[in-house]
Chain A
Amino acid sequence: MAVSQLAAKPATMAQALTRAMRDAMAEDPTVHVMGEDVGTLGGVFRITDGLAKEFGEDRCTDTPLAEAGILGAAVGMAMYGLRPVVEMQFDAFAYPAFEQLISHVARMRNRTRGAMPLPITIRVPYGGGIGGVEHHSDSSEAYYVATPGLTVVTPATVEDAYGLLRASIASDDPVVFLEPKRLYWSKAAWSPDAPAEVPGIGRAVVRRPGTGATLITYGPSLPVCLEAAEAAREEGWDLEVLDLRSLVPFDEETVVAAVRRTGRAVVVHEANGFGGPGAEIAARITERCFHHLEAPVLRVTGLDIPYPPPMLEKHHLPGVDRILDAVARLQWEN
């Protein structure tokens, strides 16, 4: 999807997401937005702002407060040919809906031998760094990526927010659309070096070219990695930054090509390290790039603790210093 399709370019990720839903709803009458507070209020993050007004309450619906009910009803709606876009208010409040997600949403295509695909987009604001109280900062992507049948994407730029959400809504498979809430109002995520194209789901992109090592990241950690790469210049390290954008499907070719080029890799994400997506990525890199590697693949992740209280979250989140420390451990003297 070319960016030129964006007539008036949204300035923030929040606006891009709203715009994506608005355009999708205008083009396709089967697209329905639903969730808690998404109507009159426009969502607690105002991502659905104005949709109920423009399209009516039948197309942008305030539901009762019940996540399993929201997703379960969306399953039925999708069975009848609608394209529900559901909002889970916060990452940790999606958990009551996991039964529906795992037992039905992810399997309906498979169970019906392809006769009943479910085109549902599940928007989940996720991740920390906003000083939220407990249950407002989880990075739950490991649960989603471990469930076959789900597509899992997460934008880190304004353009991707628009393009990936449009692609998710258009997808005939259920998509878990993880929104890095920390980046909702930030324009910093946008890297001017990045190609201005969103080629669709399942394509990673190099946000910053480099030759010495590759930082592999996604979502809220992208700006942190870009900052780290900038800082690394002082040490004489030329870092490449790769934004996965899509965790499932995983763009193994782009990752493998990058690591073969640089010979060193650090995976960076906010989710807990143990059993996190970084473990999978590191394993794949080791399998495919063993003879190209100058150093073990390292991970810089959230700690393996329940998400900490706001005053301590800075110790949990992967920051520039931890990333640089990891880069330093990539045995540069070799």
Chain B
Amino acid sequence: MTVQELPGAGASSSYRPTPPPAWRPRKDAAPLLPDPEPYRVLGTPAAEKLDPELMRRCHAELVRGRRYNAQATALTRQGRLAVYPSTVGQEACEIAAALVLEEQDWLFPSYRDTLAAVARGLDPVQALTLLRGDWHTGYDPHEHRIAPLCTPLATQLPHAVGLAHAARLRGDDVVALAMVGDGGTSEGDFHEALNFAAVWQAPVVFLVQNNGFAISVPLAKQTAAPTLAHKAVGYGMPGRLVDGNDVAAVYEVLAEAVARARSGGGPTLIEAVTYRIEAHTNADDATRYRGDAEVEAWLAHDPVQLLEHELTARGILDESDIRAAKEAAETMAAALREQMNADPVLNPMDLFEHVYAEQTGYLREQAAMLRAELEAETE
């Protein structure tokens, strides 16, 4: 049919209106929809099936993580860290994300997820390089398969998709777990990453920590969606809603998503509902945008207490376990304090080292200039 022959183009009388060809959705949306309430394990009958070994490990990590948060925050007060975005109250998400991955898997943290990186094995001091200010990331991402802590919001999400996709193309059993905040879900990169992941069926898990605020902006001003987990459905992947302070629940939901990804079932979007107990960073005044009552209510739903209560009630944990966990945490904090209180030795000439594989002519010139300046200073 040419354009001239199209109905309406001329005075054709042969055209008879018919309904359009049958349309059907690509996928049934119902199985993708999140639960109406965040999924919980602790304090529910589901807790009967807890794995004692795993839970004791989670507990020790939570205690250590809480101590790490406290120590890092103290270091900002002493001027040893430029800034530290605390995850007090969010430790369950951080720890579950780190523990759920196999060694060959990759973690793509946001700028707040230092704790997840440490729980995955990154040296506590190295994890703070970015925040201390001696190098932007500094650590070798291959060592523990942890991508650089990412400052621009949501930009790490397409990286996770690309890496997971590449691994699958190469026939490797690798899952990527990407973390992002509630505010980050508004960024364009969030959309592009989820869409790519779903189209490519990439082995990725997206973990949104909905901690209530993006700096000062509450979730209600961030999105009009029923929940952030609902966003998954539009991309064609399952959305899961979980209590982000319940480490057992976060671990279980993550584990299920990781298993789905590993077996070729594609990506999952998980929204963990949690709360940022401390201010955004030390530069933020949280009293300007939230009241004490809200914080108090969340303090009563503390991830460490929640787990400790359940495990002691079930006889999985006793006083000596708790004491041992606290002691290990103190040892870590003392070592961190000591190492962070030593001034880092920096060589300004390193500035030119990692810009290109081979230095350009003008970089060599500028390096010579700086070297001369440094020599003049020491004379």
Contact = CB atoms under 8 A, between A and B. Distances in A.
A60 to B, nearest CB: 12
A252 B158 contact: no
B120 interface: no
Given A72-B158, A248-B360, A64 B195 contact: yes
Interface stretch (B58-66, B85-93, B147-155, B276-284): B147-155
A96 interface: yes
A295 interface: no
A109 B196 contact: no
B99 to A, nearest CB: 23
Contacts of B49: none
Contacts of A253: 361
Interface in A128-159: 148-149, 151
A81 B163 CA distance: 9
B135 A72 contact: no
A68 B190 CA distance: 10
Contacts of B137: 111-112
B354 interface: yes
Interface stretch (B72-80, B138-146, B244-252, B322-330): B138-146
A72 B356 contact: no
B162 interface: yes
A249 B159 contact: no
Contact of A66 (B140, B167, B174, B192): B192
B352 to A, nearest CB: 10
A282 B157 CA distance: 41
B193 interface: yes
Interface stretch (A114-122, A258-266, A309-317): A114-122
A171 B162 contact: no
Interface stretch (A10-18, A99-107, A187-195, A234-242): A99-107
Interface string B337-368: 00000000000001001111100111000000
Given A112-B137, A115-B140, A148-B355, A249 B155 contact: no
A80 B170 contact: yes
Contacts of B167: 80
A63 interface: yes
Interface residues of B, number: 44
B136 A79 contact: no
B357 A172 contact: yes
A66 B362 CA distance: 35
A248 B155 CA distance: 26
Contacts of A111: 135-138, 148
Given A64-B196, A69-B195, A75 B165 contact: no
Contact of A110 (B136, B141, B196): B136
Contacts of A303: none
A109 B141 CA distance: 11
Contacts of B193: 69, 72-73
A182 to B, nearest CB: 28
Interface in A80-112: 80-82, 84, 96, 99-100, 103-104, 107-112
B162 A73 contact: yes
A37 interface: no
Contacts, number: 146
Contact of A96 (B135, B162, B188, B199): B188
B192 A72 contact: yes
B197 to A, nearest CB: 9
B163 A80 contact: yes
B350 to A, nearest CB: 8
Interface residues of A, number: 48
Contact of A63 (B164, B196, B356, B361): B196
A287 to B, nearest CB: 10
A298 B164 CA distance: 50
Contacts of A114: 353-354
B139 A112 contact: yes
A148 to B, nearest CB: 6
B6 interface: no
A252 B353 CA distance: 21
B369 to A, nearest CB: 13
Interface string B175-191: 01000000000001101
B9 interface: no
A76 interface: yes
Contacts of A64: 192, 195-196, 199
B166 interface: yes
Please indicate which of the listed interface residues A66, A72, A99, A173 has the most CB atoms of chain B within 10 Å of its own CB.
A72
B270 interface: no
Interface in A300-314: none
A80 B166 contact: yes
B41 interface: no
A111 B148 CA distance: 8
A146 to B, nearest CB: 13
Contacts of B353: 113-114
A58 interface: yes
A10 B189 CA distance: 39
A77 interface: yes
Nearest to A111: B136
Contacts of A248: 360
Contact of B162 (A76, A103, A148, A172): A76
Contact of B155 (A104, A117, A171): A104
B169 interface: yes
Interface string A7-35: 00000000000000000000000001000
Please indicate which of the listed interface residues B139, B148, B188, B354 has the most CB atoms of chain A within 10 Å of its own CB.
B354
Given A69-B193, A116-B140, A248-B360, 10 more contacts: A32-B169, A66-B196, A68-B158, A76-B164, A80-B174, A81-B170, A100-B189, A103-B152, A111-B148, A117-B357
Interface of B: 135-142, 147-148, 152, 155, 157-167, 169-170, 174, 176, 188-189, 191-193, 195-196, 199, 350, 353-357, 360-362
19 contacts: A66-B191, A66-B195, A72-B162, A72-B192, A73-B193, A75-B158, A75-B159, A76-B176, A79-B147, A79-B159, A104-B155, A109-B356, A112-B354, A114-B353, A115-B142, A148-B355, A149-B356, A250-B361, A252-B362
Interface of A: 32, 58, 63-64, 66, 68-69, 71-82, 84, 96, 99-100, 103-104, 107-117, 148-149, 151, 171-173, 202, 248-250, 252-253
9 closest A-B pairs by beta carbon, nearest first, are: A76-B162, A72-B158, A69-B192, A73-B162, A76-B163, A115-B140, A80-B166, A76-B159, A111-B136
